[in-house]
Structure 1
Amino acid sequence: MTTVMTDCYLSHNLGDDLFLTTLISRYPHVQFMVSADRSYVFLRGMFPNVNLLIQPNHCSNLISKSFWYFIKKYRHNKATRLSDVLVTIGGSLYWEQSGNKSVKARIDEARRLHGDRRKAREAKHHIVIGANFGPWHSDNFLNYYRDYFAYNCDDVCFRDRYSANLFSDVPTVHMAPDVLFGVQLPQVPKCHKAFFSVIDPHHPKYCMSSTQADAYDWMMVALMQRYAARGYELVLCSFCQAEGDERTMERLSNIMHEQGISVRLLRYRNDIREVLEELTSSEVVVGSRFHATILGLSAGAAVLPVMYSAKTAHVLEDIGFDMGHTIDLKTDGWKDKPAEMLPEAICFDVTAQQAGAAGQFAALDHLVRGR
């Protein structure tokens, strides 16, 4: 049996969890090694072909943290050496912090870059699936990963042309539509319902000022008022508790409650199917989360992408989506606009992307079949 060591981001984020479960379910006769804490034990019940390398959830002091860091690194390296292939799967895996970096930021970045190369060197084969590149701000960063992809990876499949074109001189680099375009969605009837995926604009990863964060909240309120006035049931969904989605959900829910508008709350807590059923049965999806947009398009909903990062724009431009029906949080054009001035959600055919998403797995398919 082929053994795969997985390298992925696990923090109970719906999109990243779906990356992993899509990978595992595609290869039922492959043994997957997954390094995670005990909160991911539920994977054992879902997949008999998963071997969890359990890490501690919390470490109380510096000595304990250091001890478990080296234990985790040792176990990961050993599992990688024993596996037939290392699969790195995820979205925004290769990014560089902007501006003047603090000493800590420089150390963290150096550790991350060194860690990527170390893991790849331990592997017999190394395949990267589903990623995008950036944001990046220096030629040193770009050139580091040009060498990395050329000499430490058997295959790198990006999800957007922008990323792939940055490394057009590297033969192992190519692109295919996002992995989650290929997810098998539940067969459920559509309801007169609007599904809102939120982010926490106060979270450091979004680099938004308090004024911008407040403006985001009120824009989402305006959109919910729009669809409530049209008779839609409203569902607010958190994709990632750890990144603060639920705080935003509670804030917006309280505002709507004060206005006498009913909103149903949905918290992702490892039940992937629950969220997919709610999203797939919705006629409208307002997607602040990248994968809310991808899944909404796949479900045939009218989608309004709310973009916090260029990665969403790159993918939507690749497929020919009308960018006039998006909201770019990195610009000022959306701020303080009444609902009637904000873009409308639209439907867009992604049949080609749904078929093409299998291309993300082409290299791994070939390797598994050849064993």
Structure 2
Amino acid sequence: MIKVFVSGYWKSNLGDDLFLKILCEKYPNVKFYVFLDRKNSRQFQRVANLTIIYNNLLFRLINKLLRKIGLLQVQDVLAPMLTDCFLEIGGSIFMQDDNWEYRLKQRAYARERYSQYFIIGSNFGPFYSQDYIEKYGDLFNKLNGISFRDSYSYNLFKVKNITRASDVIFGLRTNSYQFEYKKKQAVISVIDTSKKKTDTGSNFQDSYERKIIDIVDELTYKGYKVILMSFCDFEGDTTVVNRIYYHLNNNENVEIFEYIDDIDTAIRIISESEKVIASRFHAAVLGLMLGCQVLPIAYSGKMKNLIDDIYKEKKWMSIEEFINNGNLNDSNFVHLMRDEIEFIVSDSENQFMFFDNFIRSRNK
């Protein structure tokens, strides 16, 4: 059996958890390994072809010390002993932050230790230096396959073994979810803008939450049931939805859904809803692929690039635009027809093009 170590953002974030779910379901005859905290593992404990290496207290203490002195993490050294294939799957895994050189060091080491190294589902940035992009260009030239999810990221690099395809989650199996008949229901996914690198560089959180409250009041006045949805407690979503709920003028027809580990219920709620007001990138993706009317609120370039790859005209709002002009006018919502969805779903299969070729070569 082919064995693959998978690196990603495993913090019980609905979008990233879906990446791992889709990967394991797509390749049932591949043995995958992940390294994550036990508290973030419940949704994966029954996946037959996934082995979880738990980040226990000892590992955490050792890794904290190793990072402090600039050395590699325990999993960086141990994982290549299990397999010769390394796969990174995730969205915003190439943001330039204060630790970017350390992360590049980890990736360069992985390139040396594994015979195969693939990147699936990512966008590149935000970044602020030419040195950053040049060093990653050098690394990418040595990889076996890179699949970006937007044209902007793809066009940054002139390297071999690179492609662009629609987001991995467009490839989710959705046959068991509602598509045609929607409830008079709206899902609102939220973010904590103070924890995000917004394109404006400003913190609009108070104004943003007040605007969400106004939108909820308008929706309930029009007879909608509203679901305030937290995609990731670790990133502050749950705190935000609770704060909004507390300040509502009328919460009689409003509920909170906090994603922890119940992937199916989260998707089902979105699939049954007529409208999705999406601050979360993957709330927009799920809403579009499940036939909902979606209002995309872009806190960074990745949402803009997603929508711009689908539509020729601007079909998203920045955080600031949403605060100042956001409303429930039909013109602010986007909706895909079934044939458009089928085209994007088919395109998303190309995210796995290079990895598919590797699997086929090993199975000969």
TM-score, length-scaled by structure 2: 0.90
Contact 2:145 2:162 in 1 (8 A): yes
Offset, 1:341: 7.4
Deviates more, 1:212-221 or 1:298-307: 212-221
Q: Distance in 2 between matches of 1:15 and 1:260?
A: 27
1:279 to 2:267 alignment: no
Offset, 1:222: 2.2
Aligned to 2:145: 155
With over 3 angstroms needed to count, the CA separation of the structure-2 counterparts of 1:283 and 1:166, relative to structure 1, is: same
With over 3 angstroms needed to count, the CA separation of the structure-2 counterparts of 1:287 and 1:143, relative to structure 1, is: same
Aligned to 2:64: 65
Q: Distance in 2 between matches of 1:301 and 1:51?
A: 35
1:308 to 2:299 alignment: yes
1:216 to 2:215 alignment: no
Tell me the percent identity.
Answer: 30
* SS, match of residue 323 in structure 1: coil
Alignment of 1:159-238 (within 5 A): 159-167=149-157, 169-185=158-174, 186-188=176-178, 189-206=181-198, 209-210=202-203, 212-238=204-230
Give 5+ residue unaligned stretches, structure 1. 98-104
Offset, 1:58: 8.5
What amino acid sits opposite 1:184 in the alignment?
A: R
Contact 1:14 1:268 in 2 (8 A): yes
Q: Distance in 1 between matches of 2:34 and 2:72?
A: 12
Offset, 1:259: 3.4
Offset, 1:343: 5.6
Q: Distance in 2 between matches of 1:200 and 1:229?
A: 26
With over 3 angstroms needed to count, the CA separation of the structure-2 counterparts of 1:334 and 1:50, relative to structure 1, is: closer
Contact 2:76 2:106 in 1 (8 A): no
Contact 2:59 2:74 in 1 (8 A): no
Contact 2:38 2:54 in 1 (8 A): yes
Divergent runs of 4+, >6 A? 67-72
Contact 2:72 2:106 in 1 (8 A): no
Contact 2:297 2:322 in 1 (8 A): no
Q: Distance in 1 between matches of 2:58 and 2:183?
A: 42
* SS, match of residue 51 in structure 2: strand
1:169-217 Cα deviation digits (max 9, x unpaired): 212111110000111123235211101111112325447645x211111
Out of 123, 133, 150, the residue aligned to residue 124 of structure 2 is: 133
* SS, match of residue 46 in structure 1: coil
Contact 1:222 1:339 in 2 (8 A): no
What amino acid sits opposite 2:253 in the alignment?
A: S
With over 3 angstroms needed to count, the CA separation of the structure-2 counterparts of 1:197 and 1:340, relative to structure 1, is: closer
Alignment of 1:331-350 (within 5 A): 332-337=320-325, 339=327, 344-349=332-337, 350=341
Offset, 1:75: 3.9
Q: Distance in 1 between matches of 2:63 and 2:94?
A: 29
1:57-81 Cα deviation digits (max 9, x unpaired): 5889x77832799998344433224
Alignment of 1:64-143 (within 5 A): 65-66=64-65, 73-97=73-97, 105=98, 108-143=99-134
Aligned to 1:25: 25
Give 5+ residue unaligned stretches, structure 2. none
- Kindly tell me the number of residue pairs found equivalent between the two proteins: 354
What amino acid sits opposite 1:121 in the alignment?
A: E
Offset, 1:370: 1.7
What amino acid sits opposite 2:3 in the alignment?
A: T
Deviates more, 1:43-52 or 1:215-224: 43-52
1:368 to 2:359 alignment: yes
